[in-house]
Amino acid sequence: MLRIVSGIALAAFAVIGLPQAAQAQAANGRITQVKAVSPNTVDVEVTSEREFPVLDSVVTLHIGDKSYTVSHSPESGSLNTLIFSVPASDLTAGANSGAEAWIDYSGQGNGLRWNLGKLSASTIGKK
């Protein structure tokens, strides 16, 4: 079973106070929690100092060449955190292969992006 992890050391890119146009550039985020919600599915919690805006286009977690679009906000409603539903096997495979992970708004071509870095056993709480 996966266990909860936190504190992955990826620096976040603060944009508070920058002009609006600058906010569209890539930022960093980090996986702060992985939680099994069923035998086959995990919730992957991602946090960033730059808010994930509430858009009509679909916020998407990418792990390598796979993407995941079912998500929800934490109970607090904070826009700094998103929780994605991901098949456990995909997450493990991504960690084993060192797949790149990132978040964007699917298909929009607008440049919004949060880099999560390469997955590993430690980033998903398996080590």
Q: 10 Å Cβ neighbour count for 3?
A: 11
15: buried, middle or exposed (CB in 10 Å: 19+, 13-18, 0-12)?
middle
Closer to other proteins by Cβ: residue 33 or 71: 71
Shortest separation between residue 74's beta carbon and other proteins, angstroms: 9
Shortest separation between residue 24's beta carbon and other proteins, angstroms: 4
Closer to other proteins by Cβ: residue 29 or 95: 29
Residue 81 CB-half CA count within 13 A: 15
Closer to other proteins by Cβ: residue 9 or 16: 16
Closer to other proteins by Cβ: residue 4 or 24: 24
Shortest separation between residue 71's beta carbon and other proteins, angstroms: 5
Contact 69, 57 (CB under 8 A): no
Shortest separation between residue 60's beta carbon and other proteins, angstroms: 8
Q: Which of 29, 39, 3 is nearest to 121 (CA)?
A: 3
Angle at CA of residue 46, ends 44 and 52, nearest 5°:
130
Which residues of this chain interact with other proteins, rule CB under 8 A? 20-21, 23-25, 53-59, 69-73, 75-79, 85, 105-112
| Bridge partners of residue 87, in order along the sequence | 41
